[in-house]
């Protein structure tokens, strides 16, 4: 493992503390060094990687990244700013609990101070791990995380809603099991209504992360704070928003032969000033 510096410990402590304060905080999801620096410039308090956003940015489909690709991207984002960074570690890149634990230990060498492990197998025919195995995987990850020489914030994800299984009762049972297994933060991506989110919050005693920016999920910071949510991420939506503008601009050129899209492009001077504030090319 890389040497754990006082600065890294301070980042880890600051990240954990964000989950203990009043109200919710937004943790946006950059996909590369440049997007991380723009978000840091805009004064967000922490960042989180996005597996889908990164995969799309390098021309790959979702769920196709290797662990090596994921950790290299996480390390690059963690080094881009002074902010604490949480990593999307998918399912730990393997079925076995030992694989999830190994992924946590490898993540610790990247400068990352938190990470999520999900209970999705990635297999269409059997997309969600059986609860006993899912809990064992989180328990192994928690043991590895809590053995690190700094406060690594482990998030456990219940993926039912993203795999066509909108079963609130089972989702709550899973989150409760992951809480018992030692997760620091709980997360059920795909929750959209205030009623469902409130039901989850009342059923757990760990901070809850929700994802906004999905179709049909448009609750705001103030409302989510009142519901008891602690952390709000946006998944791949920022990267997909950028891709959406890119595709619209390209289609305008191809179908109309015009270039009006440029009126909404970021100003070179603004981008240069932002990136110069981080010390140039480093």
Q: Which pTM value belongs to this model?
A: 0.96
- The ranges assigned to domains in the chain are 6-236
pLDDT (tens digit, 9 = 90+) per residue, 103-125?
A: 999 999 999 999 999 999 999 99
pLDDT in tens, 238-278: 999 999 999 999 999 999 999 999 999 999 999 999 999 99
**Per-residue tokens: 156:** 């456990």
- What does the pLDDT read at residue 4? 78
- Cβ-based neighbour number of residue 240 at 10 Å: 17
Q: Is 72 helix (H, G, I), strand (E, B) or coil?
A: helix
Q: Which CATH architecture has domain 6-236?
A: Alpha-Beta Barrel (3.20)
Q: Which residues pair with 87 in a beta bridge?
A: 115
For residue 208, give the H/E element and its range: strand 208-211
φ and ψ of 211, to 5 deg:
-110, 130
Rg value, the chain, Cα: 19
pLDDT in tens, the chain (282 residues): 556 789 999 999 999 999 999 999 999 999 999 999 999 999 999 999 999 999 999 999 999 999 999 999 999 999 999 999 999 999 999 999 999 999 999 999 999 999 999 999 999 999 999 999 999 999 999 999 999 999 999 999 999 999 999 999 999 999 999 999 999 999 999 999 999 999 999 999 999 999 999 888 889 999 999 999 999 999 999 999 999 999 999 999 999 999 999 999 999 999 999 999 998 655
28 Cβ contact partners less than 8 Å away, ≥ 6 residues apart? 39, 44, 47, 48, 233, 234, 238
């Amino acid at each position: 493992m890389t040497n754990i510096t006082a600065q890294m410990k301070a980042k880890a402590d600051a990240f954990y503390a964000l989950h203990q304060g009043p109200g919710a905080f937004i943790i946006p999801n950059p996909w590369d060094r440049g997007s991380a620096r723009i978000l840091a410039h805009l004064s967000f308090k922490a960042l989180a990687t996005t597996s889908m956003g990164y995969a799309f940015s390098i021309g790959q489909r979702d769920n196709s990244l290797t662990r090596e690709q994921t950790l290299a991207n996480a390390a690059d984002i963690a080094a881009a700013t002074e902010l604490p960074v949480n990593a999307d570690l998918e399912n730990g890149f393997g079925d076995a609990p030992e694989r999830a634990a190994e992924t946590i230990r490898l993540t610790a060498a990247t400068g990352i101070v938190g990470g999520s492990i999900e209970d999705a197998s990635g297999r269409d025919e059997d997309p969600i791990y059986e609860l006993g195995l899912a809990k064992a995987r989180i328990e192994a990850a928690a043991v590895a995380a809590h053995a690190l020489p700094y406060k690594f914030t482990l998030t456990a994800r219940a993926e039912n809603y993203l795999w066509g299984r909108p079963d609130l009762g089972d989702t709550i049972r899973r989150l409760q099991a992951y809480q018992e297994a030692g997760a620091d933060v709980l997360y059920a991506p795909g929750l959209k209504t205030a009623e469902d989110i409130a039901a989850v919050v009342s059923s757990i005693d760990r901070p809850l992360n929700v994802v906004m920016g999905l179709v049909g999920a448009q609750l705001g910071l103030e409302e989510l704070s009142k519901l008891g949510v602690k952390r709000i991420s946006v998944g791949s939506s920022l990267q997909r928003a950028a891709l959406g503008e890119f595709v619209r601009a390209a289609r305008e050129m191809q179908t109309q032969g015009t270039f009006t899209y440029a009126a909404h492009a970021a100003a070179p001077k603004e981008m240069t000033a932002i990136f110069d504030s981080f010390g140039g090319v480093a």
